[in-house]
Structure 1
Amino acid sequence: MRRVSCGLVCLAASIGVAHAQSSVTLAGDITTGIAYVSNMGSASNWNPYASNPGQGHAYRFLDNNSTGSRFVLKGTEDLGGGIAAIFNLADGFKPSNGAFAPGAGGRLFGSQATVGLRSATAGTVTFGRQYDPTQDLVAMYASDNDWAGTIGGHVGDSDNFDGSFRVNNSVKYMSPEWAGLSVGALYGFSNQAGGFSNNSVWSAAAGYHNGPLGLGVGYMRLNNPDSATNQAGAVGALNGVGSTDDYSNPFTTNPFGALVAKQQIVSAGGAYTIKNATIGATFSDVQYNYLDQTSLHLQNYELNFKYALTPALVLGAAYLLTDGKFSATPGMENKKPRWNQINLGADYNLSKRTMVYLVGALQKANGDARYAALQPSLFPFSSSSKQFVITAGIDHKF
């Protein structure tokens, strides 16, 4: 991470005059690689009733499997009395062609765009487009946010551990750490007349750290995230299906095409480190209620392990299980989809800022889940019950 004096940044960008107590940091991450995908079909939805013609295996140039390529501009201004003004502007991009990442939706700062106040004793309040508190206090215990990357995530990122969507129009509070305990809360406004329920988001989380032990719990609720107003004008907390980005994964529509009326996510995670070894676990309970009165209930379980073989080389392994139940419309049988997955990976640090990685993931669909889907945002569903992906690449932080 390179620190740049505010005077130079402001001079180059013609954005103002620097103050002695101010600083601006220009930073970022570029990650990319190549991947082998064992089987790709034509489907982009989890529909267990539909066929999915196969397209065979593929060798692909892969954007953003590691931490995600992005550039970040953030700064602080000391206001005195232990209070500082802060801002954070970040955007994702694709190294393969230089385009904005899909989650950016054509925005200048699609990843985050916030401004706020920070106090060492009272905590931090930020306003804008940002991640919910479960990203800060729970999601880091999953292997995809540590060493496995995007292909190692839970099916469709139903629990948003990968940060597939950010919250617009939001106000967020994060506390300082009190004897190891931290808490956070967020509310995303719908900006629509008639109340707070349509296309609004609220979330709360708590975390605890004490030496080698870390724990986190969180809750998130999305109210009518795919409303017609949201799709047409993107005025709410989320941009939904049919709009530019964000709230779009295989589960945001049911097999009959109905959109989500409400989604609730309860999550928990933890890790314990013993010398060079760390064992972690996560759990999430995700409930989708659709506009046609059907519902999908998913429970994601993960157990992961990593070991620092040397200061530079880290090895990882994880087992993931997604267990589901789809309550169908009258006259249609209910379905019980299930996906099992294994992640294996190795990270080798060439320096403090540059890393090479090798990650493999194997997924098997069981029960009424007809097709495997390691990462639908990167690859189509498999045309069979199995899918295997192996990727090798480089990650450089600046």
Structure 2
Amino acid sequence: MKKSLAIAAAVAATFASASYAQSSVTLYGIVDAGFTYTTNVNNNANYALTSGNIQASRWGLRGVEDLGGGLKTIFTLESGFNVANGQQNGGLFNRQSFVGLTHQNYGTLTFGRQFDSMIDYISPLTAVGTWGGTYTAHLMDNDDLNGTFSLNNSVKYASPNLSGFQFGGLYAFSNNANGFAVNRAYSAGMSYAFEGLRLGAAYTQISGADAGGTGAVQGAPLVSAFGAGNGVIGGVGVNNRQRNWGAGASYTYGPVIGGVVFTQSRLSDSFGHAVRFNNIEANARYNLTPALGIGAMYTYTNANGSMLDANGSNSAHWHQFALQADYALSKRTDVYLEGVGMWGAGENAVGITQVGYQGSNNFSSSKNQGIVTTGIRHRF
């Protein structure tokens, strides 16, 4: 009898251990902080301790449960925060919060607050999505490649890897009983990888972003960046539509990786105003040693509006350059030095003259601005 009980207990313990091994929850994150020097802030230089210079500081929980037969339950809860003052960047899980199912043969279906296809398929080809960080985002992150906003109430599908080809799509509900199409969003994209070559294309459309609503987006990049104050576009609440799309390629050859990307963002409001931003980027990174890497980027951005200014000009454009050196102290910790410069010229239909970087919150008091940042990043 005692022998039978011992065997039963051993079997139960074995199954309990197997069950426990099939589920996991992982704590992860990035802590990035340093010193940043910015020129032409109210006609002066600005010196500041800053957070998220190369990557936004964040912490999160990632869970997996193996259901058998190749099917798994997954979830992610991720929060961004400011290392300099300890404050959250919005709600508790302001970056991502989703749950869903994934299968090795059929792909992944998730529900919650998630990034769009521009982040999934275009951003990995750019400097901002790989080595360059926040200040290499295109003018005020107009195409959202640095994840200025996430999409609430979203259902997202991502295919498995089909001999190098992958695709996906997302639909974000308005959750508004009085307007199904008000403050909703949809997005789709695809990528292809073969040896060192990677290609990507994506599209996102947002209708009726609302700062205080319960829909897909609360606010939008260009609405907050340029606003109604200078006539570029109506403020949050009157923004009728935002459309972002892009395509690009990158190639890795030994220690060198280079990429070229084109993106376009279009905004229109209910008053008939419209503005279009075109961004062309070329970037490259070279690993001099396993620990030391250097990178360079150039982006050209132009803007066109729906009405000409008093001079009949429609030629606002910006040049943006970046250089970076990064040294790994370990597999998880690195130090960096980066310089970024932006020059603006011309005016267009809506008189855009601002020069500024996403994440700096300091518009230039002239048509040019430079940033030098150095700091330390730790991943866990």
TM-score, with structure 2 as normaliser: 0.89
How far is the alpha carbon of 1:280 from its aligned partner? Answer: 0.5
CA contact (8 A) 1:225 1:247 kept: no
- Percent of aligned positions that are identical: 38
Indicate the SS of the match to 2:120: helix
1:308-367 CA distance string (max 9 Å, x none): 110111100111011111123898956432110101001111111001111100110011
User: Is 1:268–2:247 an aligned residue pair?
Assistant: yes
Aligned position for 2:113: 129
- 1:371 has 2:354 as partner: yes
Question: C-alpha distance in 1, partners of 2:192/2:24?
Answer: 30
How much does 1:83 deviate? 0.4
Partner in structure 1 of residue 199 of structure 2: 215
1:91 to 79, 84, 89: 79
Amino acid at match of 1:362: G
1:352 matched residue in structure 2: 331
Cα displacement (A) at 1:136: 1.5
Give the number of the structure with larger relative contact order, counting CA–CA contacts within 8 Å between residues 6 or more apart: 1
* Residues 254, 201 of structure 1: alpha-carbon distance in 2 compared, 3 angstrom cutoff: farther
- Match among 349, 374, 379 for residue 392 of structure 1: 374
In the alignment, is the contact (CA less than 8 A) between 1:156 and 1:249 conserved in 2?
no
Q: CA deviation at 1:194?
A: 4.3
Q: Determine if contact 1:28/1:70 at 8 Å carries over to the other structure.
A: yes
Is 1:285 aligned with 2:260?
no
Aligned to 2:294: 315
Q: CA deviation at 1:225?
A: 1.1
The residue that corresponds to 1:47 in the other structure is: none
Show the counterpart of 1:12. none
Q: What is the CA distance between 1:79 and its match in structure 2?
A: 0.9
- Number of aligned residue pairs: 354
Q: Aligned to 1:263, what secondary structure does the other structure show? A: strand
Matched-pair contact (CA < 8 Å) for 2:248–2:260: yes
Q: Post-superposition shift, 1:249?
A: 3.4
CA deviation profile, 1:286-312 (whole Å, cap 9, x unmatched): 111122101101100000111011011
How has the CA–CA distance of structure 1 residues 251 and 269 changed in structure 2, closer, same or farther, with 3 Å as cutoff? farther
How much has 1:195 moved relative to structure 2? Answer: 4.7
Is contact 1:129–1:169 with CA below 8 Å preserved after alignment? yes
Q: 1:150 offset after TM fit, Å?
A: 0.6
1:285 is paired with a residue of what secondary structure?
strand
**Aligned residue identity for 2:44:** G
Q: CA deviation at 1:138?
A: 1.2
Structure 1: any 5+ residue segments left out of the alignment? 1-17, 41-53
Higher gyration radius (CA)? 2
Q: CA deviation at 1:149?
A: 1.1
Structure 2 counterpart of 1:75, which letter?
A: G
Contact 1:147–1:346 (CA under 8 A) maintained in structure 2 = no
Task: Tell me the secondary structure at the aligned position of residue 249 of structure 1.
Answer: helix
1:300-339 residue pairs with structure 2 within 5 A?
Answer: 300-328=279-307, 335-339=314-318
Match of 1:28 in 2: 29
Secondary structure (helix, strand or coil) at the match of 1:99 reads coil
Offset, 1:156: 1.1
Whether 1:200 and 2:184 are equivalent positions in the alignment is: yes
Equivalent residue for 1:182, pick from 147, 155, 166: 166
Paired residues of 1:141 and 1:269 also in contact (CA < 8 A): yes
Contact 2:343–2:368 under 8 Å retained in 1: yes
One of 220, 225, 228 as aligned partner of 1:250:
225
1:215-249 deviation per Cα after TM superposition (whole angstroms, max 9, x unaligned): 100000011113xxxx33x21001127xxxx7853
Partner residue, 2:148: 164
1:100 maps onto 2:75 in alignment: no
Equivalent residue, structure 1, for 2:38: 37
Match of 1:28, as an amino acid? G
Structure 1 window deviating more from structure 2 (185-194 vs 162-171): it is 185-194
Q: TM-score, normalised by structure 1?
A: 0.85
| 1:113 matches 2:93 | no
How far 1:269 moved relative to its partner? Answer: 1.8
Aligned-residue Cα RMSD (Å) equals 1.9
CA apart distance, 1:134: 2.1
- Residues 124-162 of structure 1 show CA distances to partners (whole Å, capped at 9, x for unaligned) of 011000101221221111112222211111001110000
Equivalent-residue separation in structure 2 for 1:325 and 1:186 (angstroms)? 29
- Please give the alpha-carbon distance, in whole angstroms, between the structure 1 residues aligned to 2:310 and 2:258: 45
- Paired residue secondary structure (1:121): coil
Cα deviation, 1:180-218, whole Å, max 9, x if unaligned, reads 000010000001124532100000000111110011000
- Of residues 325-334 and 156-165 in structure 1, the stretch that sits farther from structure 2 once superposed is 325-334
| Contact 2:286–2:293 (8 Å) recurs in 1 | yes
TM-fit CA distance, 1:20: 3.5
| Counterpart residue number, 1:237 | 216
Alpha-carbon distance, 1:385 to partner: 1.0
